[in-house]
């Protein structure tokens, strides 16, 4: 029930649950339409229940989650890193007999009453590996030696991507995908690299690398941002990747020669799509638990954050630590020149 990236991080656990319990009913409850888009295609999931609970009043929220009691679930899992108490309240309302959650720094006596089994989290390992610790609690064990995040796209999505490239004469060309956005909840927008820096980076790449085409990726949150970048870019080398859903976005990202972002849902999708030359700008929220999983990536180091992500952000239900001015200054510390050098070295 957390973000799109967290839903994608849960897919290796879903795979293990299916292989341990091939006849089980495995349903997913999500609050993001993008998570619904790819989990509906996941063959290890029976059904996806979707409700944007942030847009509902408290009574409607309770009614919706309470209605899941009719399914008579034996087990519910709040996958890592769902730290806020709201996720455990939802698990309690849905009425599963066994309710599992990791223990977070924000845990209270009420959190412990809402679940029946807990386990510690480990900041030194990826969230996917934290999730695998759940398996022994349900009488299961890892069936696979290696795992990937599973994002399923269908032939229609592949066709869309092929048609898009052909229409814009990009077949066989070098393409850099860029996501200029960041998370939209709490104060997570402050982890974005400044839009003016992206604008300057694209302008500089257009001038120095006429062999490289730039695709701007994003959702409704970036609708207002892309025109600002495009206004100063070479229209023959830079365009917006307009898609109807996250599956089309993933299919198009799969065709990119490189992908650049901070730690966002699209960063995780790029990893799931095995995009070559993945580049991540270090933000205060980046740490071992949410690195791109199963895909080599190049980190553009932030001289302010400097590997101290846990000093800024932990799974305690709170904001990124620091004032607005401090966090903006931290992201401005990553220069256009540093990102430009990384991109041109890889491509």
Mean pLDDT of 292-310: 96
Architecture of domain 155-346: 3-Layer(aba) Sandwich (3.40)
| Category of 77 on φ-ψ map: left (φ > 0), alpha (ψ -120 to 50) or beta | beta
pTM: 0.94
Structure tokens given for 290:
């949410």
The yes-or-no verdict on residue 71 having pLDDT over 80 is yes
Q: What is the pLDDT of residues 267-283, one digit of tens each?
A: 999 999 999 999 999 99
Every domain range in the chain assigned CATH 3.40.50.2000: 4-138, 155-346
Q: What is the pLDDT of residues 313-325, one digit of tens each?
A: 999 988 999 999 9
Mean pLDDT of 175-186: 86
Question: Residues 161, 256: contact at Cβ < 8 Å?
Answer: no
Query: 170 or 317, which is more confident?
Result: 170
Q: How far is CA 321 from CA 100, 190, 263, 265, 332, in A?
A: 28, 11, 17, 21, 17
Mean pLDDT of 120-147: 96
Architecture of domain 4-138: 3-Layer(aba) Sandwich (3.40)
Structure tokens given for 27:
């349903």
Q: What percent of the chain has pLDDT over 70?
A: 99
């Amino acid at each position: 029930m957390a973000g799109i990236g967290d839903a994608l991080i849960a897919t290796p656990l879903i795979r293990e649950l299916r292989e341990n319990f091939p006849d089980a009913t495995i349903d997913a409850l999500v609050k993001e339409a993008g998570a619904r888009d790819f989990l509906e295609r996941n063959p290890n999931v029976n059904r996806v229940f979707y409700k944007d609970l942030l847009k509902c009043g408290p009574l409607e929220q309770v009614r919706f989650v309470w209605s899941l009691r009719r399914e008579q679930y034996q087990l519910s899992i709040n996958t890592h890193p769902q730290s806020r108490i709201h996720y455990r309240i939802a698990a309690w309302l849905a009425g599963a007999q066994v309710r599992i959650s990791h223990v977070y720094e924000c845990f209270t006596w009420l959190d412990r009453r809402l679940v029946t089994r807990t386990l510690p989290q480990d900041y030194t390992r990826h969230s996917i590996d934290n999730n695998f610790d759940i398996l022994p609690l349900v009488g299961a064990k890892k069936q696979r030696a290696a795992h990937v995040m599973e994002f399923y796209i269908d032939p229609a999505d592949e066709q869309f991507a092929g048609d898009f490239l052909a229409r814009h004469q990009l077949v066989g060309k070098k393409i850099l995908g860029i996501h200029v956005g960041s998370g939209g909840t709490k104060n997570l927008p402050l982890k974005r690299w400044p839009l003016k820096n992206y604008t300057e980076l694209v302008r500089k790449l257009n001038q120095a690398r006429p062999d490289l085409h730039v695709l701007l990726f994003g959702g409704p949150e970036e609708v207002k941002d892309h025109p600002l970048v495009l206004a100063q870019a070479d229209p023959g080398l830079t365009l917006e990747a307009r898609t109807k859903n996250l599956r089309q976005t993933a299919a198009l990202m799969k065709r990119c020669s490189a992908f650049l972002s901070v730690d966002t849902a699209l960063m995780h999708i790029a990893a799931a799509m095995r995009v070559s030359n993945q580049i991540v700008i270090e933000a205060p929220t980046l740490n071992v638990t949410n690195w791109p999983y199963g895909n080599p990536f190049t980190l553009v180091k932030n001289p302010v954050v400097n590997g101290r992500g846990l000093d800024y952000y932990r799974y305690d239900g709170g904001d990124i630590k620091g004032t607005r001015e401090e966090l903006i200054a931290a992201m401005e510390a990553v220069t256009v020149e540093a990102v430009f050098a990384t991109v041109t070295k890889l491509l």
